[in-house]
A and B are shown apart, each in its own frame.
Chain A
């Protein structure tokens, strides 16, 4: 029998807020353990939560970004369980009135090759709710250590419908979701810092059937490739269980990235009763229409919409837009450059080839972020214009680009300083061309007898004599005239 896979994802995203979700303590990563704490974070007797306005507002933004229905009223519930990662032994979350419901994430499946656009599809979302993140436990041989720096950070849980059908789609979904959230300034979504985490519900069913198979929840999928590999392994495991006549047990399994297999954590029977109830310390939040309308004005253009616009309006090829669009800053850089020089294609090529190359090799850690770079759209636009108006050759432009990038000097100044302006003075060039023909009778003879390539040796002489500043087009014309063709 043949099986098909059905996957739903629960993605946790830390919201980029100044302070934690229920107190004024700063949010952060990499600080000494248990320094980002206060009575509220530590759950001391008498401490009370106060809702972070920014966290709610950013949650609504995410909902608007992903086309969700925003709740008119949302409330906060306590999820009760005993575990040392949560000092109060309950997590403040949203149970039956999440802040967002429905909505979708547009994904792109891999095309035939990297230069070809793949198929697009919309993955439906079930809900998005806001909750507080928990602390981090580290288990040593005899002890367990707990760090509450992460505890109380605002965390969005984005739950998809069982609407993904392969590990590739899972990969595409996570990439698209991450791009959108970074675009909208919701989160940096840095998985290494735990800002984006993912659990996957995986089931398989015979091809052609409608009912869902028994689902297995996968945890510890800490990287995007980890998610893909874990899901891939789990599909194989479930398929072989069924093919051997076994049944799938509803359970939670843990992905072990080093050994690349999943192990059982707990079965359905061991599931917690979280005893959810509305948190009496917090008031429900009413989301008024005016609030939503105000936030709607700031919803940024989504990455895929931008990509379509670049292709349709600016005439950029897919290979260029697919390099530009995942990076919002890069897109802004491109758009401004294109506006200044009115040469969108040229600007885009410079950005995705030369600018990205310089960025990837600069900086102390082997790469530099665009924000920290000295180059601006004005620099690049000037460079494009210098080539376009014939002031410098594209070779010279390529040559001076690294200097523009590293120093922030304007291209025209570098050209002036180094005397790199292209020579189109036909008087001077005519003399040099005559000299070239005289000095190299061999090449002259060959060209005249039909060897087109021989003209390059003559051109080379002129270029050398002018230290590369001769306009190659003009040199070509003069030589051909003098050679009598």
Chain B
């Protein structure tokens, strides 16, 4: 256990609070100090309301002193990606167009966190509207990778990953549409998890692609990810796509060692284009499972090649419609140069959106246009079904699927920003799980020679998060690569 509060895991903080070794206010102050010290270099936060943070901490301490603690999350800070609504706090989605917007309501995940006593703090950087894989597409400046400030933290939830890696928050929330939690988790050396579609309410999450988006946790350990998912998941009557089921006890699940498992390696994921060191570290992680007595077999997901084109049709089509509400009429940036109603839309959006967002809105509108719908959107949806079937077939043979999270470790700032296709390929291993709606996580599995972290990607079966955590925890409990602190 670490002696420094801001280096502790959420489980350790909960323990320190429960045993009176630390107060919530001390914890909050420790993270404020840490953010003051390092965020100038990392730039994980877009906004912090430290006063509100401390007020929540005071309230938590008061509850505890009266014997009314709300449980293991009471007094534990959770910072959130700037697409999740928190009442009274700004929500910019890293876009100019939402520069002055303050959310008048709490997202369901935030309601659940507050009910559990968690201290909801700060707005974390991202690629504008979660569109990107490097957090360079933020209207408010890029986030830097805590392991090498010249490198990107991944994206789109780069701020959420970097904040945990830099120990500016013990837990953060991100959102994952095609890998936006898992890829930055891998690049920043932390745990990042995308739940099954429908497991966590999307109410209050500014939508990018509604049929793919899920909110999920970042943490140093798998155990912490389980704790945070426990708090935020469950059926929500305000989200029609929320799955009506009981949430199992994840922490109890990971306490049990997994029985002998059959783990699948999709051959399509282990072809060319994987960095040699990434390959090496992932192979070592796979070897660990073999050594533990689990069976590792090669499987095939034949539709893998199509997942990127299918994703960029479906996600952009949904985005073109979801982002139509940012129009300069009500709460969004309005151009001073508009001469008429059409101008208000065109110029406000022209000024308010960045290049990548515009590119995707145009692509999506095109894919939905009359005459092109059948050839693009409809065909993509049909292919999506085939991709899902690939996974269903695979899971008839295996319990979980292992792949690298990202083909490369963190790349340098600017390296791919002029080449959208190269950027899109960063998500090649993560995208198909969103299309299939499956749960998956990235767990740190070591460092390259220059000290950049690498992640192991584990894909589980729908709504079997408990099994997924158990598989991941078996590795993480032994290796704990996420506990290593970068020098800042």
> CB-defined interface of A43-58 with B at 8 Å, one 1/0 digit per residue?
1111111110000000
Q: Are B369 and A273 in contact (CB under 8 A)?
A: yes
- Whether, in the assembled complex, A39 has its beta carbon less than 8 Å from a beta carbon of chain B, the answer is yes
- Whether, in the assembled complex, B317 has its beta carbon less than 8 Å from a beta carbon of chain A, the answer is yes
- Whether, in the assembled complex, A242 has its beta carbon less than 8 Å from a beta carbon of chain B, the answer is no
CB-CB under 8 A from B240, the residues of chain A are 48-51, 281-283
Of the residues B206, B368, B369, contact of A45 by C-beta under 8 Å: B206
Interface members, chain B 317-359 (any A CB < 8 Å): 317-318, 320-321, 324-325, 327, 329-331, 341-342, 345
Of the residues A42, A51, A84, A89, contact of B341 by C-beta under 8 Å: A84
Q: Are B365 and A275 in contact (CB under 8 A)?
A: yes
Complex-state Cα separation, A237 to B225, whole angstroms:
71
Least CB distance from B274 to A in Å reads 32
Q: Are A275 and B103 in contact (CB under 8 A)?
A: no
CB-CB under 8 A from A277, the residues of chain B are 317, 321, 368, 373, 377
Complex-state Cα separation, A89 to B211, whole angstroms:
19
Q: Chain A: which residue is nearest B93 at the CB level?
A: A45
Least CB distance from B376 to A in Å reads 11
- Whether, in the assembled complex, A344 has its beta carbon less than 8 Å from a beta carbon of chain B, the answer is no
Q: Are A45 and B202 in contact (CB under 8 A)?
A: no
Complex-state Cα separation, A187 to B149, whole angstroms:
63
Q: Are A46 and B369 in contact (CB under 8 A)?
A: no
- Whether, in the assembled complex, A87 has its beta carbon less than 8 Å from a beta carbon of chain B, the answer is yes
Complex-state Cα separation, A44 to B369, whole angstroms:
25
Q: Are A46 and B325 in contact (CB under 8 A)?
A: no
Interface members, chain B 82-113 (any A CB < 8 Å): 83-85, 91, 93, 98, 101, 103-105, 107
- Count of chain A residues with Cβ under 8 Å from any Cβ of B? 29
Q: Chain B: which residue is nearest A22 at the CB level?
A: B240
Q: Are A44 and B327 in contact (CB under 8 A)?
A: no
Q: Are A283 and B241 in contact (CB under 8 A)?
A: yes
- Whether, in the assembled complex, B238 has its beta carbon less than 8 Å from a beta carbon of chain A, the answer is yes
CB-CB under 8 A from A283, the residues of chain B are 240-241
Complex-state Cα separation, A87 to B325, whole angstroms:
6
Q: Chain B: which residue is nearest A88 at the CB level?
A: B325
Q: Are A280 and B204 in contact (CB under 8 A)?
A: no
Complex-state Cα separation, A42 to B341, whole angstroms:
19
CB-CB under 8 A from A215, the residues of chain B are none
Complex-state Cα separation, A276 to B321, whole angstroms:
10
Of the residues A45, A48, A49, A87, contact of B98 by C-beta under 8 Å: A45
- Whether, in the assembled complex, B250 has its beta carbon less than 8 Å from a beta carbon of chain A, the answer is no
- Whether, in the assembled complex, A29 has its beta carbon less than 8 Å from a beta carbon of chain B, the answer is no
> CB-defined interface of B370-409 with A at 8 Å, one 1/0 digit per residue?
1001000100000000000000000000000000000000
Complex-state Cα separation, A175 to B98, whole angstroms:
48
Least CB distance from A291 to B in Å reads 18
CB-CB under 8 A from A144, the residues of chain B are 341
Specify the main secondary structure of chain B where it touches its partner: loop
CB-CB under 8 A from B321, the residues of chain A are 78, 80, 90, 275, 277
CB-CB under 8 A from A78, the residues of chain B are 321
- Given known pairs A82-B345, A89-B324, the reply for A275 and B331 (CB within 8 Å) is no
> CB-defined interface of A265-291 with B at 8 Å, one 1/0 digit per residue?
000000001011100111100000000
Complex-state Cα separation, A45 to B98, whole angstroms:
10
Least CB distance from B470 to A in Å reads 30
Among A45, A46, A273, A283, the one with the most B-chain Cβ atoms within 10 Å of its Cβ is: A45
- Whether, in the assembled complex, B62 has its beta carbon less than 8 Å from a beta carbon of chain A, the answer is no
Complex-state Cα separation, A84 to B203, whole angstroms:
24
Among B206, B240, B345, B368, the one with the most A-chain Cβ atoms within 10 Å of its Cβ is: B240
Complex-state Cα separation, A277 to B211, whole angstroms:
12
Among B206, B237, B241, B321, the one with the most A-chain Cβ atoms within 10 Å of its Cβ is: B321
Complex-state Cα separation, A45 to B210, whole angstroms:
12
- Whether, in the assembled complex, B17 has its beta carbon less than 8 Å from a beta carbon of chain A, the answer is no
- Whether, in the assembled complex, B445 has its beta carbon less than 8 Å from a beta carbon of chain A, the answer is no
Q: Are A39 and B210 in contact (CB under 8 A)?
A: no
Q: Are B324 and A280 in contact (CB under 8 A)?
A: no
- Whether, in the assembled complex, B131 has its beta carbon less than 8 Å from a beta carbon of chain A, the answer is no
- Given known pairs A80-B324, A87-B325, A88-B324, the reply for A45 and B103 (CB within 8 Å) is yes
Q: Chain B: which residue is nearest A79 at the CB level?
A: B321
> CB-defined interface of B214-244 with A at 8 Å, one 1/0 digit per residue?
0000000000000000000000011111000
CB-CB under 8 A from B202, the residues of chain A are 46, 48
Complex-state Cα separation, A340 to B255, whole angstroms:
76
Q: Are A44 and B318 in contact (CB under 8 A)?
A: no
- Whether, in the assembled complex, B468 has its beta carbon less than 8 Å from a beta carbon of chain A, the answer is no
- Whether, in the assembled complex, B124 has its beta carbon less than 8 Å from a beta carbon of chain A, the answer is no
Least CB distance from A149 to B in Å reads 15
Least CB distance from B85 to A in Å reads 5
Least CB distance from B339 to A in Å reads 13
Q: Are A44 and B210 in contact (CB under 8 A)?
A: no
Q: Are A82 and B238 in contact (CB under 8 A)?
A: no
Q: Are B211 and A50 in contact (CB under 8 A)?
A: no
Complex-state Cα separation, A44 to B207, whole angstroms:
10
Q: Are A46 and B317 in contact (CB under 8 A)?
A: no
CB-CB under 8 A from B331, the residues of chain A are 44
Of the residues A42, A46, A50, A273, contact of B370 by C-beta under 8 Å: A273
- Given known pairs A46-B85, A282-B240, the reply for A275 and B369 (CB within 8 Å) is yes
Interface members, chain A 56-107 (any B CB < 8 Å): 78, 80, 82, 84, 87-90
- Whether, in the assembled complex, B173 has its beta carbon less than 8 Å from a beta carbon of chain A, the answer is no
Least CB distance from A348 to B in Å reads 50
CB-CB under 8 A from A89, the residues of chain B are 324-325, 327
Known pairs A46-B203, A281-B241; list 12 more (Cβ under 8 Å).
A44-B331, A46-B85, A46-B91, A46-B107, A46-B202, A46-B204, A48-B239, A50-B238, A80-B320, A273-B369, A277-B377, A280-B211
Ordered by A's residue number, 27 sampled pairs between the chains whose C-beta atoms are within 8 Å are A39-B104, A39-B105, A44-B85, A44-B331, A45-B101, A45-B206, A46-B103, A46-B107, A47-B203, A48-B202, A48-B203, A50-B237, A50-B240, A80-B321, A80-B365, A80-B368, A82-B345, A88-B324, A90-B324, A144-B341, A146-B329, A273-B369, A277-B321, A280-B318, A281-B240, A282-B240, A283-B241
Interface set of B (CB-CB < 8 Å, partner A): 83-85, 91, 93, 98, 101, 103-105, 107, 202-207, 209-211, 237-241, 317-318, 320-321, 324-325, 327, 329-331, 341-342, 345, 365, 368-370, 373, 377
* CB-based closest 7 A-B pairs: A89-B324, A45-B206, A275-B368, A280-B210, A280-B211, A46-B204, A43-B325
